[in-house]
A and B are shown apart, each in its own frame.
Chain A
Amino acid sequence: MKSLRRYWETHHGEVSPLLRIRDRLQSKSHPLEASEIRELAGQVALPEATVKSVISYYSDLHEDREAIRVCQGTSCMLAGAEELQQELQKRKNCKAAYCLGYCDRSPTLLTAQDEVICSQQATALVAGEKTPATAETPPLSVRCLAPEPTVTKRAGANYSSLEKARSAGVYSALAQALQSSPEELLSLVERSGERGRGGAGFPTGTKWRRCAECPGETRYAIANGDEGDPGSFIDRVLMENDPHGVIEGLLLCGYGVGASQGIVFIRSEYPTAIKRMQEAIAEAQDAGILGSSVLGSNFSFEISVFPGMGSYVCGEETAMLNAIEGLRGEVRIKPPYPVEAGLYGKPTVVNNVETLVNISAIVKKGAEAYAATGTAYSSGSKALCLNHGFASPGIVEVEFGTTVRQVIEEAGGGAGGKTIEALLLGGPMGSLLLPEEWDVPICYGAMAERGIQLGHGGMVALLEGTDYSALLEHWLRFMMDESCGKCVPCSLGSQKAWNLVRNQSADPKCRAQLEGLFEVMEEASLCAFGQYITGPMRQIIEHFGDRIFTAGGG
């Protein structure tokens, strides 16, 4: 039976309709006229209604391109981003964004010229100061608590030129892997015990094997650089400072699973990452690292960058595939899984950027040595992102098994000597941890046993005096703004829950109604977004309900 998805067949994956629609929109300073959309629809071989639908789905395709993006992500929200936007809006054209990847220096703004303004500079700009008193943006701090750095090896400085990357050893693992068969690489990754860092902790080797063993000629390897979770920024830093490390990881993935085309999907909130990745790809292409004969072997691999267009859910792998195919970023029903039928219906591996950067270390170290680090369930190390609420924010790489408390202590506790009341771990679908829970080791297994989601490893400190009612409302606002709208519990439930918190928190029935709604979302939503986003909210209500529900319902 034919379904709506058949339209991709008409463009054979050459240039995504979505990119063509975006380029057309960008070539004009005004929204397209009806006749122009008609013409465009003909060019991209999509029905007119679908083109209209797609434009209205992606924020970047209908919001003002000249507006300054004011981050309303969790970390920035806690730094007063809402008031900041209200103030700035009086003088400048603004729009909201959810996380610009500078959560260690909130609040953050991104200009239409791709300039990031953060921390005190942002506040100064809003206050109307022409030249901010503190001219320097505080630098990013990258630290490593593991015996040796893996992910953060090249994250602390700019290694984006090929020469510098090569002198730091990038592409030597690739050369080594090309000496042996893809099967050996697959087996190596399986034995390493690596788990995906994108959130779910799925074993990388298993995923690759499934894809490699699906019949078919064409396969795709995709690096997920969408990093939508407000509070994490490691992928941004990797793509900006270590783009060749990402390319090497994706090349290894392609070689292992038998793909010849790779895509790096990067959110548009990360313009510098997009630019650096594109430049690095071009440089690698010129040097014969990418192309029809990778490092002189008979392995052929090409990589292109696909920019996100302003939708959180597009970080979910099947929504991402829809976006690349030129459709709305709605989540697909699984099965079939992307490894069986992914991009254009072909077997596809989607791996997080950080997951891929680990692969070269596995090749170099050997599977057994890699598996010996970390815990039995989660081998290797993980980069954690600490927001401005910590005394020493930034990126901290830790071996799996390190406790949350150790990380918080290393960071010197709360900023300005304030007490950390609770920790938000792992972004919107993550968890809230009270101090008594901080002895949990960072490990997908140990955390799952306690119902804790590590997510992508973002850590946002909730300092004494946090307004939990505002935090809860923020969480629901995020859900409303970002739900793809496909299923009823998530798209309608979020609106109802937000309304309850905003307008009826004094009603004694409010809390019970809210919890009832959460249950339906968790149990009946189609994807992990609706199923897990309630977790932190439930914990906020459980521990701080008395500060939210005024009718004593807490």
Chain B
Amino acid sequence: MAVKTLKINDIYVAVEEGLTILKAAQEAGIYIPTLCHLEGVSDIGACRMCMVEVEGINKLLPACVTEVAEEMVVRTNTAKLKEYRRMNMELLFAEGNHVCSVCVVNGNCELQNLAVEVGMEHCRFSYRFPDKPVDISHPQFGIDHNRCILCTRCVRVCDEVEGAHVWDIAHRGEECKIISGLNQPWGEVDACTSCGKCVNACPTGSIFHKSTPVAVMKRDRGSLEFLSTAREKKQWTR
């Protein structure tokens, strides 16, 4: 096994070849914000929250999909990066209807945590206040499109781990929307096994357990990671 040595924020890190900058940082205990990344499913490099600076490369690189290289010098927290992450966050907030005080995951939301993390006290863009639907046709779960940030974590977990492929993205550009089945009510999609993986994968309050009162839902992300490791390494005991 070849080892690559790199420097992240002035700390030397030695990791296995082929790992991403994100993994290397995690091993070294260095935090890089992420949103579309989810342990156990493929990475798409789409949310752009994990962008880092790499010396000698004149553009920013997404840590979740960039492999480490020998003698790489990475910075994860420069003023420039902080500003972009914040702006990116504001774009997400202005797009949907995120009224945290009445949300099922208030206090347990990755989006909310990140907003705090990047120091987003307010949003400089005018809110769009879209009128998006809420689908509670599924007996156990619901999806509120107003809170969806189109990270496609639900799409990937349902396809890659559960193998059901209930979700996909429809349209393109700013009109993108998550759909279940043939853009039909979730409860009518036969492919859904009600396994709940998408509920655990969702970083916001978009997909939720029904009958969950405001601010008590906690995700069981560990079980998700366990499942995918189990499948890959064929280890079925925890």
Residues of A in contact with B (beta carbons under 8 Å apart) = 1-4, 34, 37-38, 47-50, 52-53, 56-57, 311, 328-329, 333, 480-489, 491-496, 499, 504, 513, 516-517, 519-520, 523-526, 531
The CA of A504 and the CA of B159, in the complex, are separated in Å by: 42
Interchain CB contact under 8 A, A492 and B91: yes
Interchain CB contact under 8 A, B176 and A485: yes
Interchain CB contact under 8 A, A57 and B172: yes
Q: A524 contacts which of B48, B95, B150, B165 (Cβ < 8 Å)?
A: B48
Q: Which residues of B contact A1 (CB under 8 A)?
A: 41-42, 160, 232
Tell me whether A513 and B165 are in contact in the complex, defined as CB-CB below 8 angstroms, given that A48-B191, A328-B172, A485-B176 are known contacts. no
Q: Which residues of B contact A517 (CB under 8 A)?
A: 87
Q: Which residues of B contact A481 (CB under 8 A)?
A: 173
**B39-69 interface mask toward A, CB cutoff 8 Å, 1 = contact, 0 = none?**
0011111111001000000011010010000
The CA of A296 and the CA of B41, in the complex, are separated in Å by: 50
The CA of A34 and the CA of B181, in the complex, are separated in Å by: 10
Q: How many pairs, one residue from A and one from B, have CB atoms within 8 Å of each other in the complex?
A: 139
What's the nearest-Cβ distance from chain B to residue A143, in Å?
38
The CA of A514 and the CA of B59, in the complex, are separated in Å by: 21
Interchain CB contact under 8 A, A484 and B172: yes
Interchain CB contact under 8 A, B60 and A523: yes
The CA of A4 and the CA of B163, in the complex, are separated in Å by: 10
The CA of A484 and the CA of B46, in the complex, are separated in Å by: 11
Q: Which residues of B contact A526 (CB under 8 A)?
A: 45-46, 48, 62
Of chain A, the residue at the smallest CB distance from B40 is A1
Q: B191 contacts which of A34, A47, A483 (Cβ < 8 Å)?
A: A47
What's the nearest-Cβ distance from chain A to residue B72, in Å?
15
Residues of B in contact with A (beta carbons under 8 Å apart) = 41-48, 51, 59-60, 62, 65, 80, 84, 87-88, 91-92, 94-95, 124-126, 128, 150, 155-156, 159-160, 165-176, 179-184, 191, 232
Tell me whether A311 and B172 are in contact in the complex, defined as CB-CB below 8 angstroms, given that A47-B165, A520-B84, A524-B84 are known contacts. yes
Q: Is the interface of A mostly helix, strand, loop or mixed?
A: helix
Q: B48 contacts which of A2, A485, A504, A525 (Cβ < 8 Å)?
A: A525
The CA of A480 and the CA of B126, in the complex, are separated in Å by: 17
What's the nearest-Cβ distance from chain B to residue A224, in Å?
20
Q: Which residues of B contact A523 (CB under 8 A)?
A: 51, 59-60, 80, 84
Interchain CB contact under 8 A, B91 and A489: yes
The CA of A442 and the CA of B113, in the complex, are separated in Å by: 50
What's the nearest-Cβ distance from chain A to residue B18, in Å?
12
What's the nearest-Cβ distance from chain A to residue B213, in Å?
31
Of chain B, the residue at the smallest CB distance from A479 is B173
The CA of A484 and the CA of B87, in the complex, are separated in Å by: 20
Q: B168 contacts which of A50, A489, A496 (Cβ < 8 Å)?
A: A50
Interchain CB contact under 8 A, B184 and A34: yes
Interchain CB contact under 8 A, B159 and A328: no
Interchain CB contact under 8 A, B168 and A488: no
The CA of A544 and the CA of B167, in the complex, are separated in Å by: 45
